[in-house]
């Protein structure tokens, strides 16, 4: 049975890879840093800030990832209010690579964002973020997944350390509570930060949820912005941002890691297979 399951997974992956490759082009700026920069400059002309994030692929070493991050930091300097999002495990938990990024960020006065991955990487990410934030010479932000129970305590930590929080629903379930309500968890984290964190990023394409989060934060005296993933539907959330008079930032990914991510998510969320087919057909029409 194990061999059969492995064969079926391989067969599905082989069939879906070409489909995923076509669909992915709608969700990332392109494979190269120049693709992301071109898009970010275009967004800036429309009045939108940007976050750049290199999505590493299978076979990309920590040295390759660090080189991409360093190049992005250097190239982002002309972009006002931009920052770099990093995935710490992709650096191999290497403090020297992280220190090299911090040196550039310190010199260019740019922010480093520690993105959340699976729960198993959370302790490593928060330990590094706290160490970086302590000197106070580099702006630091971190993602807080609403579906994780630990995020309420992590929200307290961001306030104490002066870390800028980005609230997300979260892609990876919490083993301690895998069936938690995503919207309820999201708003619990927002409420924990409201009036305590000076500024909060709301990262969601769920327009009603984003609107409610923005109103709660502003009522408590916290400023906020809406952060959207490039390529996902945005009309409803942009309307919320306009009605609430808050700024909008786009997360601009580039690279090639969307493909394994997409297929991995599809195993847990079969509806993603339909989205892949829909997007591939739309791109081919």
In this structure, the answer to whether residues 44 and 23 fall within a common structural domain is no
In this structure, the answer to whether residues 44 and 19 fall within a common structural domain is no
In this structure, the answer to whether residues 79 and 129 fall within a common structural domain is yes
In this structure, the answer to whether residues 199 and 236 fall within a common structural domain is yes
Strand partners, 111: 83
In this structure, the answer to whether residues 145 and 164 fall within a common structural domain is yes
Give the list of residues 6+ apart from residue 236 with CB closer than 8 angstroms, or none: 205, 207
Is 257 a residue whose pLDDT tops 80? Answer: no
- 1 is a domain residue: yes
- 260 is a domain residue: no
Angle at the Cα of 279 from the Cα atoms of 276 and 58, rounded to 5 degrees: 50
- 261 is a domain residue: no
Is 264 a residue whose pLDDT tops 50? Answer: no
What does the block give as tokens for 204? 């969601």
**Model confidence band, residue 35 (pLDDT cutoffs 50, 70, 90):** very high
Average the pLDDT over 111-134 and give the result.
92
Query: How many Cβ atoms sit within 10 Å of the Cβ of residue 8?
Result: 10
Query: What gap in Å lies between CA 217 and CA 222, rounded to an integer?
Result: 5
In this structure, the answer to whether residues 7 and 19 fall within a common structural domain is yes
Can you give the pLDDT at residue 271? 46
Is 108 a residue whose pLDDT tops 80? Answer: yes
Average the pLDDT over 21-50 and give the result.
86
In this structure, the answer to whether residues 14 and 116 fall within a common structural domain is no
What does the block give as tokens for 118? 């699976």
Average the pLDDT over 224-252 and give the result.
95
Query: What gap in Å lies between CA 280 and CA 178, rounded to an integer?
Result: 31
Q: Domain range holding 22? A: 1-30+266-285
Residue 176's φ and ψ, nearest 5 degrees, are -75, -20
Can you give the pLDDT at residue 175? 75
In this structure, the answer to whether residues 240 and 281 fall within a common structural domain is no
Is 147 a residue whose pLDDT tops 50? Answer: yes
Q: What percent of the chain has pLDDT over 90?
A: 64
Can you give the pLDDT at residue 179? 66
Can you give the pLDDT at residue 12? 46
Query: How many Cβ atoms sit within 10 Å of the Cβ of residue 189?
Result: 25
Is 277 a residue whose pLDDT tops 70? Answer: no
In this structure, the answer to whether residues 145 and 222 fall within a common structural domain is yes
Give the list of residues 6+ apart from residue 45 with CB closer than 8 angstroms, or none: none
Residue 111, domain CATH? 3.20.20.220
Average the pLDDT over 7-14 and give the result.
49
How does DSSP assign 78-115, residue by residue?
Answer: TSTT-EEEE-GGGGTT-HHHHHHHHHHHHHHT-EEEE-
Angle at the Cα of 283 from the Cα atoms of 248 and 172, rounded to 5 degrees: 55
């Amino acid at each position: 049975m194990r061999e059969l399951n492995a064969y079926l997974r391989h067969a599905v992956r082989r069939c879906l890879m070409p489909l995923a490759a076509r669909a992915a082009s709608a969700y990332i700026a392109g494979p190269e840093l120049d693709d992301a920069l071109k898009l970010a400059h275009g967004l800036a002309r429309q009045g939108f800030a940007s976050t750049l994030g290199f999505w590493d692929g299978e076979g990309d070493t920590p040295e390759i990832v660090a080189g991409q991050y360093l190049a992005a930091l250097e190239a982002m300097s002309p972009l006002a209010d931009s920052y770099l999002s990093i995935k710490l495990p992709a650096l191999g938990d290497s403090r020297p690579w992280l220190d090299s990024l911090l040196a550039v960020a310190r010199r260019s006065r740019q922010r480093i964002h520690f993105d959340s991955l699976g729960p198993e990487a959370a302790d490593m990410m928060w330990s590094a973020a706290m160490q970086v934030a302590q000197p106070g010479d580099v702006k630091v932000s971190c993602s807080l997944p609403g579906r994780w129970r630990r995020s309420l305590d992590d929200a307290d930590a961001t306030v104490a350390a002066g870390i800028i929080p980005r609230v997300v629903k979260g892609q990876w379930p919490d083993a301690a509570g895998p069936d938690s309500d995503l919207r309820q968890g999201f708003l619990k984290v927002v409420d924990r930060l409201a009036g305590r964190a000076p500024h909060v990023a709301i990262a969601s394409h769920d327009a009603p949820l984003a609107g409610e989060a923005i109103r709660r934060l502003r009522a408590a005296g916290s400023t906020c912005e809406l952060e959207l993933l490039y390529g996902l539907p945005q009309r409803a959330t942009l309307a919320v941002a306009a009605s609430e008079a808050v700024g909008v930032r786009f997360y601009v990914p580039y690279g090639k890691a969307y493909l394994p991510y997409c297929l991995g998510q599809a195993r847990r969320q079969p509806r993603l297979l339909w989205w892949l087919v829909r997007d591939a057909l739309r791109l081919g029409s």
